Amino acid sequence: MAYYDAARSSMANARGLFERLGFRSVIIEGEDFDFAKDPGSANGKAVVYSSKSESLVPYLKNGVKAIIPQNPETLGEMEKYVKDMKDYGASFIIDASAIENAYGTYRALLMGRFRDCTEIMLGKDIAIGIASLARNEAEVLAPQQLMAICGALGMNKNEAKKALAENRSIISKP
């Protein structure tokens, strides 16, 4: 099975590193996928969901491809968007860098919320992807490390492998 990772635009020159770690290739922000800045330009893009006050419904109606929650508050809100995500065919992306950069009890809370969300998404058959979304080399992870994070979030081995393999189809430009 071929695994794909997604990274921020600052990692555009480090494609070789990802291939060395065992990925087939890496999807780079700006080249292979984009983040939607507003609902009007959401079609086919991914959205970083970082503020609880912002509604995801306009993004979903405008064809956003993937939702990337960033913190425990937005993860807590995901449950109410599950039906819309299923109806509009949006996917759920686990941002491993958010977990990596968290610390102590905040990380425990974040991972707990990710685990709850993952369980809901798996139950509703919504596609899940996991990506490092690395901004620098220290945030890059090998495929087996990303799979270990999936395991900690309640996914089995096959689901973890699928999450890594489907990154490309979930995030990249249509």
Choose between 39 and 143: whose C-beta lies nearer to another protein. Answer: 143
In angstroms, give the least distance from the CB of 12 to another protein. 18
Closest CA to 66 of 32, 98, 26, 93: 93
Contact string (CB under 8 A) for another protein, positions 120-139, x = contact: -----------------xxx
Contacts of 70 (CB under 8 A, 6+ apart): 48, 49, 50, 95, 98
Does the protein bind another protein through residue 8 (CB under 8 A)?
no
List Cβ neighbours of 130 (8 Å cut-off, separation of 6 or more).
93, 94, 96, 146, 149, 150, 160, 163, 164, 167
Binding mask 67-106 for another protein (x = CB under 8 A): -----------------------------x--xxx-----
> Binding residues for another protein, per CB under 8 A?
20-21, 96, 99-101, 107, 137-142, 144-149, 151-152
